[in-house]
Amino acid sequence: MFRRYMRLLRVRLRASSLLAMQYQADFLLDGLISVFWMASALVPLFVVFQNAQRQIEGWSFGESLLVIGWFTLLQGILEGAINPSLQGVVEHIRKGTLDFVLLKPADAQFLVSTENFLPWRALNLVAALIIFGYGFHLIGRAPSLPGVAISLVLLGTSVLLLYSLWILTVCAAFYVVKVDNLTYLFSSIFDAARWPASVFRGVLAFVFTFVIPLSVMTTFPAEALLGRLPWTALVWAILGSLLFAFFSRRMWLHSIGRYTSASS
């Protein structure tokens, strides 16, 4: 079963790559636009840290760049691998074509989640590595191997959280026809993940830790690279991501159970 789904995933990745490169000029233009938006994400940080010796809530400029690096990497995953497919679910529901997906001999959630990819978003990985390198250059040391290993585990939990939150947002399309505003709102809220979690206080700190856990997605991996993330935080991040994944799966199954096609 696992091999079958991996083969299906490879086929869909190849199809998306061929489709994206069908028009080479558009492919290069999309890549350049992607680089521009990645660079623009750094502007607010440079404005805040005009004084190189300044610290914001205990974070130096070099340390904050690690958070930006994780934000850039996750933004690439969100906009290159999660958004394109799941936004198509809304259109399927609206047009009644989700029936054709449900009739296929594979898990419907897997099919709608792997329908389309934007390969030029892989540039975000390159940009994130450059930002990590520059950040550690400013800090004056390299990350430890345990820190890198823990941050990779947290990358998995972050992607799972991001995907689960997006599935929960998409499930709303089964109850209300137009959820475009919700997806835009979620994308806007995700922009807050470029800042260290300690910047936010009060209600925002609670929301960005437990409701929409942006701090778990970018600040925790950055702290792991710096070697100052408590083990308890790692355990809670893993348990929390699994809980979000379980809840989103149950919501998806419940939403599919009450789905009626547009032709019904």
Instruction: For the chain, list residues with pLDDT below 50.
Output: none
| Per-residue confidence (pLDDT) for residue 200, from 0 to 100 | 84
| Per-residue confidence (pLDDT) for residue 42, from 0 to 100 | 74
Helix (H, G, I), strand (E, B) or coil at 31: helix
**Global pTM value:** 0.86
Residue 263, judged by CB atoms within 10 A of its CB (0-12, 13-18, 19+), counts as exposed
| Per-residue confidence (pLDDT) for residue 179, from 0 to 100 | 63
- The 8-class DSSP code of residue 179 comes to -
Helix (H, G, I), strand (E, B) or coil at 99: helix
Residue partners of 143: CB distance under 8 A and separation at least 6: 136, 151, 225, 226, 227
Name the β-bridge partners of 59.
56
Q: State phi, psi for 84 to the nearest 5 degrees.
A: -60, -40
Domain boundaries defined on the chain: 1-258
At 262, the amino acid letter reads A
Q: Per-residue DSSP letters for 150-178?
A: HHHHHHHHHHHHHHHHHHHHHHGGGTSS-
The closest alpha carbon to 32, from 110, 158, 123, belongs to 123
On whether the CB atoms of residues 227 and 104 are closer than 8 A, the answer is no
| Per-residue confidence (pLDDT) for residue 224, from 0 to 100 | 93
Please give the structure tokens belonging to residue 88.
Answer: 């198509």
- The 8-class DSSP code of residue 59 comes to B
